[in-house]
Amino acid sequence: MSTVAFFEVEAWEEEYLANRLQGVELRFSRSALQPAHLAAMSDVEVLSIFIRSPITSNILEQIPHLRLVVTRSTGYDHIDLEACRRRGVVVCNVPRYGENTVAEHTFALILALSRNIHKAYVRTVRGDFSLHGLRGFDLKGKILGVVGTGSIGLHVIRIARGFNMEVLAYDIRPQPLLAEVLGFRYVSLEELLRESDIVTLHIPLTPATHHLMDWSKFQQMKRGAILINTARGGVVDTDALLRALDEGILSGAGLDVLEGEELIEEERALLHMPEAEEKLKAVIRAHVLLRRENVVITPHIAFNSQEALQRILDTTIENIQAFFTGAPQNVVNVP
């Protein structure tokens, strides 16, 4: 019987999966995959992880019978696809569980900043009901720049049109028909940055998009614009973001993802990690951002609605079953 090991699962997910995945041996761990787990994984054929379990070539070497990695996320930048390909390990993702879920969270961040919800909340719990410094701005009539018009970006555009926003978009694979149907315009990245009041990122983290938003891009932005990032921390150069906030290029930022976000919870362990200096710098930058009043940070929860989690589990079960029937689905590498 094949062994399937799940990491980063909660108790209710364990029960849901155990009731639906028959004919395989299941193992569950609440935590992310860590080196200490590897000794007991020599028989594991299928690994199901979330984004806190990096899959490196070193880890692959220690799971010799591994045939399939199923990430319960859309992004797969935490997995070394090339190393998996070399070892003949298939990698599957969950491509479409949360376009509305992440798009709704994108608007939660936009509205928090446009109406100062975060500041107002902190004040009212202290009993301060003054309006001072809480004037916001309308979304109606503002220009939203959407970078990446895949599943999530398109849903963001649908919501933005509901607010009567004008939408500019940039994508390396534009979909002109959808632009006509949804009422938005594809432009160059330069024009998008120059014209948009709010820029929102919906691209995957790849070598081509790493630090896509660097200092030169921030310099091209409309003064006083807002940046929203629900994609991956690595698409924004955090040093450049801090400078853009300091110099007033940005009047605010809404971030569900941050470079080094995985390190914030483990600050002490950092001291013993390789490249500790770089990692400590990432954590310090994150803390500097956290202290700013015009920055709203959420801890990578854009995906985290009950309905989306249910869809993730259903697709994960289908991915595993499809693999065992010899017709894998949602494959993101070709071994």
Q: With respect to ligand NAD, which residue has the nearer C-beta, 156 or 244?
A: 156
Q: Does 173 bind ligand NAD (CB under 6 A)?
A: yes
Asked about 85 being catalytic, the answer comes back as no
Residues 227-246 that bind ligand NAD (CB under 6 A): 230-232
Contacting residue, 166, 256, 259, 261, with ligand NAD by CB under 6 A? 256
Asked about 232 being catalytic, the answer comes back as yes
Tokens 């607010």, located at residue: 163
Q: Does 204 bind ligand NAD (CB under 6 A)?
A: yes
Question: Which tokens sit at 300?
Answer: 């990578």
Instruction: Identify the CA nearest to 171 among candidates 147, 190, 145.
Output: 147
In this chain, which stretch among 117-125, 205-213, 283-291, 316-324 interacts with ligand NAD, using CB under 6 A?
205-213
Q: How far apart are CA 251 and CA 228, in angstroms?
A: 12
Other residues' Cβ atoms within 10 Å of the Cβ of residue 147: 25
34 Cβ neighbours under 8 A, 6+ residues apart:
none
Helix (H, G, I), strand (E, B) or coil at 170: strand
Contact string 24-63 vs ligand NAD (x = CB under 6 A):
----------------------------------------
Asked about 67 being catalytic, the answer comes back as no
Q: How many residues does the chain have?
A: 335
Tokens 């930022």, located at residue: 253
Contact string 268-307 vs ligand NAD (x = CB under 6 A):
--------------------------------x-xx----
Cβ–Cβ under 8 Å, residues 211 and 237: yes
Contacting residue, 8, 21, 75, 165, with ligand NAD by CB under 6 A? 75
Angle between helices 117-125 and 99-114 (to 10 degrees): 70
Rounded (10°) CA dihedral 243, 244, 250, 256? -70
Question: Which tokens sit at 136?
Answer: 């916001």
Query: Given 105, 232, 259, 285, which residue is catalytic?
Result: 232
Q: With respect to ligand NAD, which residue has the nearer C-beta, 44 or 230?
A: 230
Query: Given 78, 155, 261, 285, which residue is catalytic?
Result: 261
Helix (H, G, I), strand (E, B) or coil at 330: coil
Q: Does 208 bind ligand NAD (CB under 6 A)?
A: yes
Residue nearest to ligand NAD (CB): 150
Residue 82 CB-half CA count within 13 A: 1
Instruction: Identify the CA nearest to 100 among candidates 180, 196, 209, 202.
Output: 202
Query: Given 300, 307, 311, 318, which residue is catalytic?
Result: 300
Q: Does 153 bind ligand NAD (CB under 6 A)?
A: yes
User: How many binding residues for ligand NAD (CB under 6 A)?
Assistant: 28
For ligand NAD, the binding residues (CB under 6 A) are: 74-75, 98, 102, 148-153, 170-173, 202-205, 208-209, 230-232, 256-257, 300, 302-303
Catalytic machinery residues: 232, 261, 300
